[in-house]
Each structure stands twice: as structure tokens, then as C-alpha cells.
Amino acid sequence: MSEHTNKQFDADLESVRSQFLQMGGLVEAMIQEAIDALASGDMSLVEKVREREKEVNRHEVEIDESISRILARHQPTAIDLRMLMAVSKMLTDMERSGDEAEKVATVARRIHEAELRHIPVIELRHMAANVRTMLHQALDAFARLDPIQAAAVVRSDKEVDKEWKGALRHLITYMIEDPRTISRAIDMIFIARALERIGDHAKNMSERVIYMVKGADVRHTGVKNTERLARGEEDTEE
């Protein structure tokens, strides 16, 4: 491969990396705006989320096309090919995270327009902050090629799963104690479920970062083995 071709290839890779990080930043903002819309009733935030979702979808298509062009024009080394394959998979998780954030915003609009009976949203705000942090850390691990931080995100997903189950129990209790809260409680369950799925997507992306850096497929290996593989140690599972 000539020096000129090498430079073009490096520039193409950097463009994919940079655009993916931009896409992730949009999704982070969507999560914050969606949960703020739920808490405040500010419907202008719902419109912001919807506009950002269009940008996220545009980024997904453009990055996908860029990866296809790189594969067609160049002959990536094994390491570069791993990176391209990982980003291709991460794209789906990032776009779906945006979809979930848009669902939160849509349900927030429905709750406030219907003026449904009040249920505290503080638990969901905490859960939203956690999944937003997970997404931010997954992006940071990708940007810095840091498998240790990526493994920490995988571990964090356990806590988000606990929050989801706790929120579900509390919301069911609200419905039992006061049937007038049923409609809103169901909507809040939809929101909690959407947040839990964003956590899952952040975990998936972090697993791809570990694969990209270490060449180890850590899916379904358990948190402890994920952490070992991220450190470069051998998988202990038989």
C-alpha cells in the first residue's frame, strides 16, 4: 500500500471514528432532554429530541456507507478490520439508543398532555443519569481504546438492571394502592424499560470495544471474565 493510500485510509478511519462520536454525543443529549421533558413538562424538549433523532439516523446511514467504501477501496489489516466491524455493530446499538430516548420523550408528552395523576419521577431521573453515564463512558472507552473502562461499563449494567426491577416493583405498588395511577404508572414502566434498554446497548458497545482492542469476544462470558479478558488475561470458563 502506497504512502498516499495509507494516508487516505487513515483519514477515512478517523472520519468514521469522529462521526460515530458525534452521533453518540447526540444520543447523550437526547436522553437528558427526554428525561428533562418528563420532569418539567417542557414540550419544546420533546421536539429537540425528535430533531436530534433525525440527525442520528443520518449519521447511521453515512457511517455505514463510509465503512462500505473503506472495505471496497482498501485492504484493512486484521486490527483495522476489527475496528470497522466493531463500529458497524455499534452503530446499530447507538441508533437504537436514540430510538429509546425518543420513546421516552414521546411518553413524556403523552403524560403531560393527558394531565395524568402524579407519580414521582425521581427514581427514573436517577436511572436516566446512570444510563447516560454508561453511554458516555462507552464512548470514552471507544475514543481512547480503553478496554478496562469498557469492562467497567459492562459491570455498571448490573446496577441499571437492579434499578429497572426496583422501579417496576414500586410502580406496581402505586397501581395496587391507587388505581387512578394505573395509566401514568404504565407509561412510567415504558420509560423505565426504555432506559434499561439504553443501558443494554451501552453494554453491547462496550463489549465491542473490548473485541476491537483485545480481539476477545466477551459476549455471554460473565462480568468477571469480561474484566479478565479486558486486562488481557485468559478466559477461565471451560
Percent of the chain scoring above 90 in pLDDT: 70
* The model's pTM: 0.91
Q: What is the pLDDT of residues 146-193, one digit of tens each?
A: 999 999 999 999 999 999 999 999 999 989 998 888 888 899 999 999
Q: What percent of the chain has pLDDT over 70?
A: 93
- Is residue 85 predicted with pLDDT exceeding 70? yes
Distances in whole angstroms, Cα of residue 210 to Cα of each of 5, 106, 190: 28, 34, 31
pLDDT surpassing 50 at residue 4: no
Residue 200, CA atoms < 13 Å, CB-side half-sphere: 13
Q: Where are the alpha helices (DSSP H) in the chain?
A: 3-40, 43-73, 78-114, 122-144, 147-177, 182-214, 223-230
Banded pLDDT at 7 (limits 50, 70, 90): confident
Range scoring the smallest mean pLDDT among 38-42, 131-135, 164-168: 38-42
pLDDT of residue 1: 44
Residue 222 is given by DSSP the state -
Residue 93: what pLDDT? 98
The domains found in the chain, sorted by start residue, are 3-230 (1.20.58.220)
Quote the mean pLDDT of the chain.
Answer: 91
